[in-house]
Amino acid sequence: MKELKILAVVVFFSLLTYWLVEPYAHSQMHKHVEGHGFVYDGKADIEEAVAAAENAKKSGIKVKEAEARVEAKKAFWADVAKISKLKGDPAAGEGVYAMCAGCHMDGAVNMGGVIPPSLEKAGSLYDKNYLIALIKDPAMASNVDHKYADTMTHPMGSIKTMVTEPQQIADVVAYLKAKKVGKLETKEAFYDACGRCHAMRYAKMTQLGDTPKFKHEKDALAYQVKVLDEQDLVKAYMGKLPPDLSIIIRARSEHFLKTFVENPQSQLPGTSMPRTGLSKEGYAAVEEYLTEVGDPSKPKREAIGPWVILFFVGFTVLAYLWKKQEWRDLH
C-alpha cells in the first residue's frame, strides 16, 4: 500500500498548490476587481471618484475639483436612472435617430480620432442604461471625463446640444432596442465595439475593417499607407496605439477581460480606453470572437480533455495491476 500513500501525498500537494497557493499568489499580485454583471448604474464610477477625492484631501492638491467631480457623477447617474424609467416611443425615436446617423453612417470617416461605429446592432450590443448615459454625455458615460476640461470636446460631445430632452433620449434608445437585428455575429460585434481602436492581425483586420485582397502590390502598399494614417489619428486621440488583440484571450484571464471591458479604469486607473458599455449578450459575442481568433483550438481541446483524463485513469489501473502481477512472487 506504499504506492497509494505516495499517490495520496502527490495529489494532496498538487491540489494544495492549485487551490490555495496559486490563487493566493495571484491575489497578492493583482488587485481584485469585482465585476458588476454589465449593469451600468454609475456605482463603480462614483466609488472611484470618492476614493480620488479622499486622496486629494490627504495630499491637499486639487481638493475642490475632486469633490466637484463626485457631485457631478452622482447627479449624472441619478439623471440616467430617471430617464431609464421613462417609457420610450420607438416611432418618435426614429426621428431623433436621424441626428445620430449624420455621424454614424455607412462609410463614415475618422472624426476626432476614430471612425464612428455602425449602430446597426447597437440595440443588442450595448446596454440600455449605458446608451442613455452615452447620449446624455459620452465622456461621463464612458468614464473618461477626466480627460476633458469640457466634455463637449469629446468626439461625440456635440450630441449634448442636439438631443437635450430626457424624453428624446428615452425615445431614441427605445428605437435602437426595438430594431430587429437578428443574431449578433461575433466578428461584427467585435468590429463595432472595439475595431475602431484595436486591430486583429491574425484575422487581417485593422482599424479600417477587413483588409481587402489586392492584385497589384502597389495597391496593397497604398492601402497600408491608409491604415497607417488611420492608426496615427487613433494614436493622437488615445495617446498611444491601442494594442492588437489577436492573442489577448490567452494573455489575460477571462475575469480580467470582463471587468476591464465593463470599466477600464478599474484595472488601469487613468487609462484613455473608454468604457464601451456592452450588454451581457454583446460581451459574450466579443469574447467569442477573441477566442475564435486567438485560441481557435479551444473547443477541440475541451472536447478531448475528458477522454485524456479517462485514458490516464484506465492506464493507472492497468499499470497498477501489472505491477502487482510482476511483484507477486518477489515479496
Chain residues binding ligand HEC by CB under 6 A are 99-100, 102-104, 111-112, 114, 116-117, 119, 122, 126, 134-135, 142, 155-156, 158-159, 163, 172, 193-194, 196-198, 238, 240, 242-243, 245, 248, 252, 257, 260-261, 268, 271-274, 276-278, 286
Q: Of the candidates 252, 172, 163, 246, which has an alpha carbon nearest to the alpha carbon of residue 203?
A: 246
Q: Which is nearer to ligand HEC, 161 or 325 (CB)?
A: 161
| Rounded CA separation 187/185 (Å) | 6
- Minimum CB separation of residue 28 from ligand HEC in Å reads 19
Q: Which residue lies nearer to ligand HEC by CB, 66 or 172?
A: 172
The CA-atom distances, in angstroms, between 176 and each of 9, 97, 128, 134 are 59, 8, 9, 13
Measured from the CB atom, the residue of 41 and 67 that comes closer to ligand HEC is 41
What's the rounded Cα separation, in Å, for the pair 154 and 137?
9
Q: How many CA atoms lie within 13 A of 294 on its CB side?
A: 17
In angstroms, rounded to a whole number, what is the distance separating the alpha carbons of residues 211 and 202?
11
How long, in residues, is the chain? 331
CB of 321 to ligand HEC, least distance (A): 50
State which residue, 63 or 108, has the beta carbon closest to ligand HEC.
108
Question: Considering the complex, what minimum distance in angstroms separates the CB of residue 292 from ligand HEC?
Answer: 13
Alpha carbon distance 278, 157 (integer Å): 20
Longest alpha-carbon distance in the chain: 93
Nearer residue to ligand HEC within complex by CB, 33 or 111:
111
Separation of alpha carbons 228 and 29, rounded Å: 36
Question: Minimum distance between the CB of residue 197 and ligand HEC, rounded to whole angstroms?
Answer: 3
Query: Among residues 60 and 107, whose Cβ is nearest to ligand HEC?
Result: 107
CB of 115 to ligand HEC, least distance (A): 8
Residue pair 184/124 in contact (Cβ under 8 Å)? The answer is yes
Question: Are 196 and 245 in contact, with CB atoms under 8 Å apart?
Answer: no
Cell numbers that stand for 50 in this block: 470618492
Separation CA 26–CA 283 (nearest Å): 25
Minimum CB distance to ligand HEC, residue 101 (Å): 8
C-alpha span between 21 and 102 (Å, rounded)? 55
Q: Which is nearer to ligand HEC, 39 or 63 (CB)?
A: 39
* Residue closer to ligand HEC (CB basis): 212 or 243: 243
d(CA 237, CA 45): 22
Handedness of CA 323, 325, 328, 330 (dihedral sign): negative
Nearest to ligand HEC of 52, 172 (CB atom) = 172
The minimum distance between CB 27 and ligand HEC, in angstroms, equals 18
- Tell the smallest beta-carbon distance from residue 71 to ligand HEC (Å): 24
Instruction: Tell me the closest approach of the beta carbon of residue 70 to ligand HEC, in angstroms.
Output: 22
